[in-house]
Structure 1
Amino acid sequence: MIQWRTQRNPIIGDKFASRHGQKGINSFLWPTESMPFSESGMVPDIIFNPHGMMIESMAGKAGAMHGSTYDSSPFVFNEKKTAIDHFGQLLVRAGYNYYGNETMYSGVDGREMEVQIFFGIVYYQRLRHMIADKFQVRSTGPTDPVTLQPVKGRKKGGGIRFGEMERDAMIAHGAAFTLQDRLFNCSDRDIAHVCARCGSMISTLRCSKMLSERRNSENSIVNHSEREMCLLCGKDDQVCPVEVPRVFRYLVAELAAMNVRLQISVKHPANLSQ
């Protein structure tokens, strides 16, 4: 058995986590000279959003200043004696802000930042989830024959799932065309024919001219052009092409198998008002 050991520097996309279960993805690598620094000249190693677990960092900062350890089990503190109040008083005794905030200076222009920033000690570890082993790229590839959507799986050359959170992010940014491109144009875009008279999608069928018309025709050239025709109405003048996801057509067929009719309201292009 041969084991390989390679040294990898952290890159964008690598995963880190604290000892308290706060996972995070490296989203940007700032140069050292551009990092903010405190009044004592300390430069942070990691910058993350203020929604993280700050109490652990407050406990680590207080423990580093007083040289002691603290019990962090969930039954030590209660509503009357909170953890933030306990560690806040320890930080005040050490000469720091009650919440552990410090004045920071910009590493770009050296100006003092208007808002005090939380600055503390947290042990962060690197996880094995590295982007160099997990990245996935796809332009074209295999699709599911039923849904026409890209198959899943990196080994199969499948696509990357565009989930609900990605959808909500696109909606929040107002990127409607990008959302349509990801979930519709590049996924399972299909052309369905709907009868505007009865609202049926599964009753339309592509067929040629009637045989009786062919037999009664005196011309030697018979019209073999094909058109979409509704089998329920027996006419083809109100059949409209509609762009829908392929899974929607699959849903309509599944509901029809359970005696549930889905009636679609469409308007013929000739009847639309200018």
Structure 2
Amino acid sequence: MGVVHAVLSAPAPSGGAAPVLLLLACAVTGLPGPGAGRRLRGLGPGRTRRARAPLPPVACGYVLVALAGAFLLGPAGAACATGAAWFGRRRWAARRRADRAVAAAGELADALARIADEIRTGAHPAAALAGCEHDGPLARSVLRPAAVAARIGERVPDALRRAASGPASRDVERIAAAWELADRHGAPLAGLLTHLLGDLRWRIAHGSRVRAQLAGPRATATVLTALPLAGAGLGQLMGIAPLTVLRTGWHGPALLVLGVLLTISGAAWSDRILRAAVPS
């Protein structure tokens, strides 16, 4: 305000310069201070800072494995350790999917037996489907949309096909085809579901027998896969220092990469052979 007072108390200049000087003094007085920009940004719509998502545990595990491989065998060891960890995780996920498929088939067989028995005793198919709340979680997730569709008058086969996902998708497609055949041509639904149940239980029992017979070859394949690692550890304990050979020069890392690739390829091929023997 001192600038404005000085301008007002100064002698009046000639012409129309006084209003201009007065406006200039007001502009100088109203100049924003150092923190004005921050205050103005606070008046506007706040910008949301994008929170950085933490690394998933899988990525952290890969980083730790790569660091351990680099500490033991250098850059080639880091690459090989990461590849081996990726293959091991993929193999473990495949086995989990197989176990989940077996569990889903068992739950679906129990649900089919219950639905067929209730329809055979005179219950309406919608009422039989409504009892899915007492089935297993995997069967319940598949049959619940069909129960809702039957209650509101929609087509049950369409609801079953929409819910056909995951390990039991092929069996759910067969149930939908049988239900559609009963709706379109009047075939007895209980008889169709009973035939499907017999086929499903036979495949479950046959798969269990085959997996039991393949336990020996599977264990042999696992031992053969672990033999190179065990041999390297035994050589290190005996003082031969194979780790030093594998991380020095150019031939050591090349042999390391080649050996890991051959080991992973052999394990993947044996898994494929054993998986093809089990009926799906």
Q: TM-score, normalised by structure 1?
A: 0.16
Question: Normalized per residue, which structure has more helix?
Answer: 2
Structure number with higher relative contact order (C-alpha < 8 Å, ≥ 6 residues apart):
2
| Larger radius of gyration between Structure 1 and Structure 2 | 2
Q: TM-score, normalised by structure 2?
A: 0.16
